[in-house]
Every structure is written in C-alpha cells, then in structure tokens.
Amino acid sequence: MDEQSIGKTIRSLRQDLKITLTDAARKAGIAKGTLSKIETGQISAPISTLLCISQALGVPISQFFREQEEDPPYVLVRSGAGIPITRDGTRFGYSYEALAPGMSGKTAEPFLLTIRPEDPPGTFCHGGQEFIFMVEGSMEFTIDQEKIMLHAGDSLYFDPSRTHKTRAAGPVPARFICIFIQDPDIRRNNP
C-alpha cells in the first residue's frame, strides 16, 4: 500500500467523521500542513504519527491500510508475498512487509521487518503496545538504557512509549515479525 492510498483513506475517514483538517491535526499533535501532505500522499508518515492520527480520529490504525470496501473474512499472505510499505524505520533502511493488508477492524498490525547489518540504529517511541518475534539473525534491542540481545526464536513484548532502539547484530540481516498493537481504548470506542 502506498502513501497516496493511506492518505486518501485518512482524508475519507476524517471527512466521514466530519472532523476538520485543523481539528484533526490539533488533536493528533501535528501541524495542519503536515496532515494535509499526509492526506495527499506527498509525505510518508511514520507509524508513530499514524497512531496519533488514528487516536485523533478515534479509529483503529488498521483502518488506514484497508484496500477493499467489503471486509474480507480473512487475509492470506503467501510466503515471500508481504506487501512492501514505507514506515518510520524506512529512513534507517529497514524493510517493512505488511502481513495483514486489507483486513479492517483489527487492533494489531503485523509486519515482517528486515534490518541489515549496515543499516544505522533506529530510535523509536510511540503509543500502543508492541510484540517482536525473531525469525533469523540477531538484533541488539535497547529499551531506555537496557540492552537486550535477541536471537532467532526469541520474542519480546514491550511498552513502545519507552524509547527503544534497534540494531542488527552479526553478519546476517535481522528478520523479525513485529506486531504494533493499537491502544485498546480506541478499539473499545469503535467496535
């Protein structure tokens, strides 16, 4: 899914909810011009910004990734067929593949992430919850100041509102399943 599709969906949701661009930007804590550029697909918003926008609109973030008008009963993504998307870690060279595109109403957004040894460390901080399952390689993961080494088969569930850093450790790329979990209050208010 590209920036234009995500932006178009955000604009459509905002207009359906009869929320002005100014009010949505203020509630999301971003500049009106930034929200306008996101809605027109001129810029790619990091996941943390998309989470703020979803909370401002009172909708699950998964609504931004819908591709079909009719909700499918399931989403099947075959091996190697994840949808490449741009997210906040892309600026560090990280590769994101959406693993459940088109399924609306979900409270979690799963991705397959790849961090190459030559990619610089990424620093993140956002709302919700996050789960990581290492598929292959190793990754140095830091929460606040605590360093944790993750290897294939390891998993980590954590509060992403704490500053966290990622870095591939070793000669091969770190590949892992990352699931961003929406704030449950958003889901509760929007069944």
Phi and psi at 138, nearest 5°, equal -135, 155
Q: What is the set of domains in the chain, with CATH numbers? A: 3-65 (1.10.260.40), 83-189 (2.60.120.10)
pLDDT confidence of residue 4: 80
Which of 1 and 138 is assigned the larger pLDDT? 138
pTM across the whole model? 0.62
The string over 151-173, giving b where at least 16 C-beta atoms fall within 10 Å of a residue's C-beta and e elsewhere, is eeeeebeeebeeebbbbbbeeeb
Q: Please determine, for residue 190, whether its predicted confidence score (pLDDT) is greater than 50.
A: no
Cα 100 to Cα 65, 125, 151, 162, 185, distances in angstroms? 9, 23, 24, 26, 22
What is the distance between the alpha carbons of residues 158 and 172, in angstroms, rounded to a whole number?
Answer: 25
- pLDDT at site 106: 76
pLDDT, tens digit, 9 for 90 and up, residues 85-130: 777 788 888 888 888 876 767 788 899 999 999 999 999 988 889 9
